[in-house]
Amino acid sequence: MVAKTLASLERAKKSGAREAVNDVTFLANIDAVVVATPTSTHFEVLSQVLDVMPGVPIYCEKALCDQLRDAEEINSRAAGSLFVMHKWRYQEGVRALKRITESKELGALIGIEATRHDLGSPHRDVDMIWTLLPHELSIVLHILGELPSIQSVVADRNERGAFGLKAILGWKPWVSLSVSGRANRARELKLIFEEGYAMMSSDLSHDEICIVRHSDPKGPAQGEPEIRQLPNTMPLFQELNAFVSFVRGESQPPLSSGLEAVEIVGCIEAMRIRSGIQGYPTTAGEAS
């Protein structure tokens, strides 16, 4: 393990790290690397890793970088060995909603509504858009297989920076996104189909989704909600297990690839430019 401060090195040793050093150049005989540092440091840390250990499998926390040019450079240098920890692609509810979409159990998909709100953030290096939006975009990418084009976007901003945004992507199906760092905590992912809708939200348990079918296909009437139970698994464990299995040669590469992560960074940067916040402070203070 690499940790910069004495306190971090001590914590690593107490937590059972086999070895803890303060510089990546001191590492040897490494099979793979996990980068778990603030987003604003990813480019520097990943550059150091690639300088010392070119070709080693790398698993990096989201977002890959907070600048598109940096993300593109890192992904190009990694040459297929880079993966990013978009953990919501391993969440059982997201996986279940993807299966419903692919099976057409409720007919064709019409649209996706995604909401992720928090009151403030523990992260100080990037604003709430970089903190929250990668989750929603990775979910959309997982369900649709692509990120639709940006139709419109508006940002919540002031002189201190940006706190959130609302955006519409695509057309058939469309995607409505809302992320905010100054709103009461809320999580909801709702997929609207021709014959009903399916959703997961903070009002439900993390291991269940709600399905509502239209009882009258020609009108707004709907049937009783169906609560569908899901396996009780931890997305973080699932994604780390996928990476370890890949490094051992036991499975296919994990989700998401470096190229997909670049696509997500590019979409966020495009939204920031389109809403007029590119060039605003990357960080933002506590919600007020």
DSSP letter string, the chain:
-B-SSHHHHHHHHHTT-S--BSSGGG--S-S-EEE-S-GGGHHHHHHHHHHHSTT--EEEESSS-SSHHHHHHHHHHHTT-EEEE-GGGG-HHHHHHHHHHHHTBTBSEEEEEEEEEEES-S--SS-HHHHHHHHHHHHHHHHHSS-PPEEEEEEEEETTEEEEEEEEEESSSEEEEEEESEEEEEEEEEEEETTEEEEEETTS-TTEEEEEEBSSTTSS-B---EEEE-----HHHHHHHHHHHHHTTSSPPPS-BHHHHHHHHHHHHHHHHHTT-TTS-S---S--
pLDDT of residue 282: 62
Q: Is residue 80 part of a domain?
A: yes
| Residues 108, 197 share a domain | yes
The per-residue pLDDT string of the chain (288 residues; one tens digit each, 9 = 90 and over) reads 566 667 776 776 776 666 666 667 667 678 999 999 999 999 999 999 999 999 999 999 999 999 999 999 999 999 999 999 999 999 999 999 999 999 999 999 999 999 999 988 777 789 999 999 999 999 999 999 999 999 999 999 887 788 999 999 999 999 999 999 998 999 999 999 999 999 999 888 888 999 999 866 555 556 789 999 999 999 999 999 999 999 999 999 999 999 999 999 999 999 999 999 876 556 654 443
Residue 288 lies in a domain: no
**210 & 95 share domain:** yes
Give the pLDDT score at 219. Answer: 53
Residue 271 lies in a domain: no
Shared domain for 52 and 129, answered yes or no, is no
Same domain, yes or no: 114 and 208: yes
Say if residue 193 is in the same domain as residue 250.
no
Domain count, the chain: 2
Which residue range is the domain that position 244 belongs to? 6-86+239-265
The per-residue pLDDT for 106 is 96
- Identify whether residues 180 and 136 lie together within a single domain: yes
Q: Is residue 196 part of a domain?
A: yes
* 110 in the same domain as 225: yes
pTM for this one? 0.89
CATH number at residue 27: 3.40.50.720
The answer to whether residue 261 sits within a structural domain is yes
